[in-house]
Amino acid sequence: MTIGVMDSGIGGLNMLAALIKCRVADRYLYLSDGANLPYGKKGGGALREIALEGCKKLAERGANSIVFGCNTLSVSALDYVRKRVIPPVFGLIPRPDLLSGRSLLMTTPTTALYLPKIDDSVSLLTPAELASLIDREYPDTRETESYLSPLLLPYEGCENVYLGCSHYLYARELIKRLLPGARILDGIQPLAALVRAVLPTSESRNPSIEMIFTGKNESERYLAILASLLK
């Protein structure tokens, strides 16, 4: 079983790590579409074509199934590509319905356009530069902290924070520090569990991993980040 994972940058490595931990496949292809980073500012039409092209590229490399490690790509293009490619495609869809009490939902601006109506107790924050900033500087977090700290000030006392962008997971510890007491949620583990439940599973403890880049090749950096996520 070969699974292809697609994202605009390092965010989807969180999805890849979760799939590897679940032992879903013997081989993984990771498509980092840096040429189109960030997805979160693009329109739906452009994202649908980007998603279709990425799926075709992964299928040509042998992917039996494809997972979007990106919320924006999932909400804007999942249904579109499912009708146009042969391998089954899974998407990372935000779940604001899981939030209760005073909560904060963080997404990209484009993802926010596709959200269902959210409860009045849930605030929506769409930090337009956060994904690009994290992608550029991680594992350094100094610029991310300077950017994010003032944005989170109005949400002190939140009970829950849902990270609706896979890039934002790299700021999890920073968010926990800025909003102490908040429960941090995301959709990575539930999607990995779904993929494992639907697809034939592998018991491979050492799957092969191939990195594919549309922009600058950063294999060494990506593999180092992935190794840290797998610890």
CB 33 within 8 A of CB 71: no
Share of the chain above pLDDT 90, in %: 92
Model pLDDT for residues 146-195, shown as the tens digit of each residue:
999 999 999 999 999 999 999 999 999 999 999 999 999 999 999 999 99
Residue 2 scores a pLDDT above 80? yes
Catalytic residue among 22, 55, 70, 158: 70
Mean pLDDT score of the chain: 95
Share of the chain above pLDDT 70, in %: 100
Q: How many CB atoms lie within 10 A of CB 84?
A: 12
Name all contacts of 216-222 with Cβ < 8 Å and 24+ positions apart.
216/34, 218/32, 218/34, 222/10, 222/13, 222/30, 222/32
- Asked if 70 is an active-site residue, the reply is yes
CB 64 within 8 A of CB 157: no
With left for phi above 0 and alpha for psi between -120 and 50, is residue 64 left, alpha or beta? Answer: alpha
CB 176 within 8 A of CB 182: yes
CA distance 202 to 209: 14
To the question of pTM greater than 0.75 for the whole model, the response is: yes
Domains of the chain: residue spans and CATH: 2-93+188-229 (3.40.50.1860), 96-185 (3.40.50.1860)
Catalytic residue among 22, 55, 158, 165: 165
Model pLDDT for residues 58-111, shown as the tens digit of each residue:
999 999 999 999 999 999 999 999 999 999 999 999 998 889 899 999 999 999
